[in-house]
């Protein structure tokens, strides 16, 4: 015999103690689902659609928060029960969250791992439809000097000349660097071309005294290192 599907209890019928807003105040946002946080943001449903259904429909249509953040206001407003006012509210909230995640690396800030770089730099490239190549100019203790935007490419590749890369790094006073580029396909797995280019850059850096600590590839939801086997990349200098 088939088990009956669980019935969702509307927010208004939950004990006040168990409602998302009260749980957020009591324990913070980390224990809430994306749908619950969206429901708090929206406040209430409309057009006869409850707020939990609207939040679930948003995540159901766009699958995850990065895709939802990339959607336009007009697209969002087509979700039943949302409308243009709430669509603008969702768009503004996700834009603010994106700006927080994209806080630029500051001069003198230490870079401790590939994951730390991805969290601060890589996510701004995750949903681009073209490849971008940048380099972090670092000092001998892997502290930020500056970020260098070096090349923009197409949907499948980006062309750069090692001479131009190291000229910019030497001009910035770098003694080490981390290279970063994105894969618009969403898959961060290094290609053979990526691995060969990394090896050429490492060899050139050895000769010029600007050591390539890592080459990080950004996908839609994750990253990979061209140098290290593990996801976090090689340890940075102390």
Residue ranges per structural domain of the chain = 11-101, 114-225
Is residue 5 scored above 90 in pLDDT?
Answer: no
Domain 11-101, CATH among 1.10.150.20, 3.20.20.80, 3.40.640.10, 3.40.30.10: 1.10.150.20
Confidence of residue 157 (pLDDT cuts 50, 70, 90): low
Q: 108 pLDDT exceeds 70?
A: yes
Average of per-residue pLDDT values in the chain = 80
The pLDDT of residue 211 is 94
More confident residue, 170 or 237: 170
pLDDT at 204: 93
| Entry field: residues in the chain | 238
pLDDT tens digit sequence for 95-106: 877 766 666 677
- What fold does the segment set 114-225 form as a domain? Cytidine Deaminase; domain 2 (3.40.140)
Q: What is the pLDDT of residue 16?
A: 58
User: Mean of the pLDDT values across residues 218-227?
Assistant: 86
User: 100: Cβ–Cβ under 8 A, 6 or more apart, which residues?
Assistant: none
pTM score of the predicted model: 0.61
Four-CA torsion 56, 57, 63, 65, nearest 10 degrees: -70
What is the model's pLDDT at position 232?
A: 45
């Amino acid at each position: 015999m088939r088990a009956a599907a669980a019935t969702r209890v509307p927010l208004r019928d939950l004990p006040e103690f168990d409602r998302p807003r009260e749980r957020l105040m009591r324990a913070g946002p980390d224990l809430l689902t994306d749908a619950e946080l969206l429901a708090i943001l929206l406040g209430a449903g409309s057009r006869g659609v409850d707020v939990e259904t609207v939040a679930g429909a948003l995540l159901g249509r766009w699958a995850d928060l990065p895709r939802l953040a990339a959607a336009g206001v007009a697209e969002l407003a087509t979700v039943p029960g949302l409308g243009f006012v709430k669509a603008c509210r969702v768009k503004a909230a996700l834009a603010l969250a994106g700006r927080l995640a994209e806080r630029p690396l500051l001069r003198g800030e230490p870079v401790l791992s590939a994951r730390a770089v991805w969290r601060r730099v890589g996510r701004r490239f995750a949903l681009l439809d073209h490849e971008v190549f940048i380099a972090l100019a670092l000092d001998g203790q892997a502290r930020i000097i500056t970020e260098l935007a070096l090349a923009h490419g197409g949907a499948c590749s980006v062309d750069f000349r090692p001479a131009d890369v190291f000229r910019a790094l030497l001009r910035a006073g770098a003694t080490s660097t981390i290279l970063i580029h994105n894969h618009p396909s969403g898959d961060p797995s290094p290609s053979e071309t990526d691995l060969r280019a990394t090896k050429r850059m490492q060899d050139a850096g050895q000769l010029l005294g600007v050591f390539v600590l890592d080459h990080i590839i950004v996908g839609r939801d994750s990253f990979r290192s061209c140098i290290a086997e593990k996801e976090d990349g090689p340890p940075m200098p102390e």
